[in-house]
Each structure stands twice: as structure tokens, then as C-alpha cells.
């Protein structure tokens, strides 16, 4: 059963301009996300933007806003094949358990100027 859906689009240029702001990066992205994105070289800004859009899409799917949670409670990881997955921590992990959300489907894409993500909560 679908428990929520969310979508977000991000202008890559805005994220690129924030990449020199270490405080922003550390507040939004986990160490694992930073390691992945920083290893993407020319795709670095696009990778960060797609993950930011994914986090926003997950928040929208939950429908609760950030009340009680942090950006790092939503982590976007990749499997061996490079497919993205959502890993929840803290408030959002608690909320998912309480709402009987067992799976989160995430899709990321980007063009030259924009990154987009869609999240579907299943329970």
C-alpha cells in the first residue's frame, strides 16, 4: 500500500554555489554521501543536487516537514550496481516504524541544469 509520494526538483547551479560552504554540506549530507559525491569529479554538483532533491522528496512523502528530524536522518546510499536507496535514521526511522512504512522507492535524475527525485513510501 502506498503511504506517501513526494517529488522535488533542484537547480544544480544553486547547489554548486553552496559546495564551498562546509557548514551547509555537513548539515545536510552524511559522511558517506559526501564521500560518494566528492568522488564523482565532474558530476560532483549534480550528485549533491540529486541527493538534496531526494531528501526533499522523502520529506514531502512523509508529509511532516522537518519537525523533529534533521537532513542527516535521511541518507541516500547506492548499492553495488549504483542504484540509489534511502536509509533512515533518528526521527524519520522512528516515524517510518510508527507508520508501518517498510520500503521507500527513490528515483533520481538530472540534466545539465536540474536534478529531480521522486520518493514513494510503501507499507
Q: Please state the rounded mean pLDDT for residues 81-100.
A: 97
Active-site positions read 60, 110
Per-residue confidence band for 84, with pLDDT thresholds at 50, 70 and 90: very high
- How does pLDDT run across 27-83, given as a tens digit for each residue? 999 999 999 999 999 999 999 999 999 999 999 999 988 888 999 999 999 999 999
Q: Which of 1-10, 61-70, 98-107 has the lowest mean pLDDT?
A: 61-70
Which residues are CB-neighbours of 75 under 8 A, at least 6 positions away? 30, 32, 33, 86, 87, 88, 89
Q: How far is CA 25 from CA 54, 62, 66, 106, in A?
A: 15, 23, 17, 21
Helices (H), the chain: 12-18, 22-28, 31-38, 44-62, 90-98
Give the three-state DSSP class for 67.
coil
User: Phi/psi of residue 49, each to 5°?
Assistant: -65, -40
Per-residue confidence band for 17, with pLDDT thresholds at 50, 70 and 90: very high
Q: Please state the rounded mean pLDDT for residues 95-104.
A: 97
Number of domains composing the chain: 1
Instruction: State which residues form the domain around 23.
Output: 2-122
Average pLDDT, the chain: 97
pTM of the model: 0.95
CATH at 28: 3.90.470.20
Residue 33 annotated as binding? Answer: no
Amino acid at each position: 500500500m502506498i503511504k506517501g509520494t513526494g517529488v522535488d526538483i533542484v537547480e544544480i547551479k544553486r547547489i554548486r554555489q553552496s559546495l564551498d560552504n562546509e557548514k551547509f554540506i555537513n548539515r545536510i549530507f552524511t559522511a558517506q554521501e559526501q564521500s560518494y559525491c566528492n568522488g564523482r569529479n565532474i558530476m560532483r554538483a549534480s550528485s549533491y543536487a540529486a541527493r538534496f532533491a531526494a531528501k526533499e522528496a522523502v520529506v514531502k512523502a512523509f508529509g511532516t516537514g522537518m519537525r523533529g528530524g534533521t537532513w542527516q536522518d535521511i541518507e541516500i546510499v547506492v548499492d553495488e550496481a549504483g542504484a540509489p536507496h534511502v536509509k533512515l535514521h533518528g526521527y524519520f526511522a522512528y516515524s517510518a516504524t510508527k507508520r508501518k512504512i517498510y520500503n521507500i522507492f527513490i528515483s533520481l535524475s538530472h540534466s545539465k541544469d536540474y536534478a529531480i527525485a521522486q520518493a514513494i513510501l510503501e507499507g
